[in-house]
Amino acid sequence: MRKTKRTNKDGSTTAYLQLAHNERRPATGNPVAKVIWKFGREDSVDKDALRRLIQSIARVLDPEDQIAVEMGIELGSISIESDKSLGGSWALDQFWTKLGIRSAFEVLLRERQFEAPVERAVFAMTANRALAPSSKLAMEDWVENDVCIDGLGQVKVHQLYRAMDLLVENHEHVQERVFFSMANLLNLEVDLIYFDTTSTYFEVDPDPDEQEELRRAGYSKDHRPDLLQVVIGLAVTRDGIPVRCWVWPGNTCDMEVIAQVNKDLTSWRLGRVITVVDRGFSSAANLRRLQRAGGHYIAGERMRADVKTVEEALARPGRYKPVKENLEIKEIVVGDGEARVRYVLARNPLEAQRDRQRRERILAEPREELTRLKSVTGEEHTKAVCKVVTSKRFGKYLMLDARNFPRIDQNKVKKEARLDGKYLLRISDDTLSPEDVALGYKQLLEVEDAFRTLKSTLDLRPMYHRVSDRIRAHVLLCWLALLLVRVAETQVGDTWPRIRTQLERIRIVEVDAPEGKIVQRTNIAPAQKHILSRLGVAEPKKIREIILKSKVRA
């Protein structure tokens, strides 16, 4: 469509519309417009007729060509060069900086020179655990093609391994600096520190010629006794924020680690710290260690260990005081003077009912077996009796009578029934109220929840590393990812998988057009705005980059 103008005698202009086709003159090669049809004056053209003409012509085109004609663009002139996720890595990167992790690495690297941005490589591996867990080798492709990380367009696997080595070399400095920065920023309450251990296994076959430092056979909390493992310790606040992690050989017993945990936490000079530990750590030696340097403890007691003070505490009469729904407590003091031991006995009525129903279901099995044994004789009878008595499910409720015939011991049943729905807590600090003790111990579930997140959401297991330092580095990366995830969950009030799903919908797209390239993020939906607002994170810039192509004049 060609528009020409004519100037009238009164100075006004009149525009005319023509349909023209450019042709080149054979002699000169210059283009000249050949008019095919004249539509007349622009102000008198029947635009509805033009619109019907366009629609008539478009009917013979493909659907995408029809859209291109209607939008007035040249098909194929605009293309999307790349499409990457932005929201998740952007939010984690802002937290990474706010929590002081970035500055911690910058201090370490100030006097060193590396061929790659080590801090960016550590952040990329941490973000990978939180967003799309993969191997270090697969991260090369992930960083280059799937995610946008500021300051890191691409990375090689050897650079990632070098960054892991640096992380292990300086893990004490990193963990301490991150903790105090985070504690000041988030006003963390660190008077109660919860500690527990777990194990994680390896899919790598053992090397018979290799001296194993960490990968050992031991008690597997993942129910994989056939695989080598390591033991991991985790200390978290009452809000579930992880403050420190440890890695020990896979054959380490829970009782052996308290000394190191207490020493490491005491070195941070946190002031008055009450460590909350489960029944696996409540030996007398461990409790003494926790009281060194002014520390205190809340420890779960083994109620079936036949300890004199425990038996006396369980037998002590008294009324329970309700604390909250399905939680009743009573305070018990056993002994006098230096031998005085303070306990809090907690009872959950709903859990007590469940324990009773569970025991009744279990006892139904030996009753059937004992009825069947009456009709069995000889060697078969002996084998059947051994099988019943040694049963892991109901053997503890049985006894042998004078004829060596098994029967249910009602005294054992009653002894077990008195423990229904109860747990016993030992406390070293007399200033803590019984209510705070019971509620504080229930928060120990935060550590178990942290372990679940490590193993499922962040894919801590299985591990494929062989070298001990790389194993420690892998755990440290998962700890850093857990730290960012827990802070996000606390501030948003939602689970990380839901937060991650929303954030990952914020994409960044590189569009190539005739005039140049533009790198732009997608629009931010209300749900994503809400998450960024709760996180205290600014929205990423809409236009990230514009590259104009230079115009070449003839």
Nearest to 243 by CA among 270, 222, 221, 278: 270
b/e per residue 204-233 (b: at least 16 CB within 10 A): eeeeeeeeeebbbebebbeebeebbbbbbb
Instruction: Give the mean model confidence (pLDDT) for residues 473-487.
Output: 91
Query: What pLDDT shows up at residue 552?
Result: 38
Give the global pTM.
0.74
Query: What pLDDT shows up at residue 207?
Result: 65
- Compute the distance between CA of residue 312 and CA of residue 301 in angstroms, rounded to an integer: 13
Most confident of 81-90, 236-245, 279-288: 81-90
Counting every residue, how long is the chain?
554
Query: What pLDDT shows up at residue 116?
Result: 56
- Compute the distance between CA of residue 177 and CA of residue 156 in angstroms, rounded to an integer: 28
In terms of C-beta density within 10 A (0-12 exposed, 13-18 middle, 19 or more buried), how is residue 117 classed? Answer: middle
User: Is pLDDT larger for residue 9 or for residue 113?
Assistant: 9
pLDDT at residue 293 is higher than 60: no
pLDDT at residue 215 is higher than 80: yes
Instruction: Return mean pLDDT, the chain.
Output: 84
Least confident stretch, 114-118, 280-284, 370-374: 114-118
- Compute the distance between CA of residue 329 and CA of residue 126 in angstroms, rounded to an integer: 42
Residues near 490 by Cβ (< 8 Å), separated by ≥ 6? 239, 240, 241
- Compute the distance between CA of residue 544 and CA of residue 519 in angstroms, rounded to an integer: 5
Q: Is the dihedral of CA 278, 279, 282, 283 positive or negative?
A: negative
User: Is pLDDT larger for residue 242 or for residue 204?
Assistant: 242
pLDDT at residue 71 is higher than 70: no
pLDDT at residue 115 is higher than 70: no
Query: What pLDDT shows up at residue 554?
Result: 32
Least confident stretch, 249-253, 343-347, 513-517: 513-517
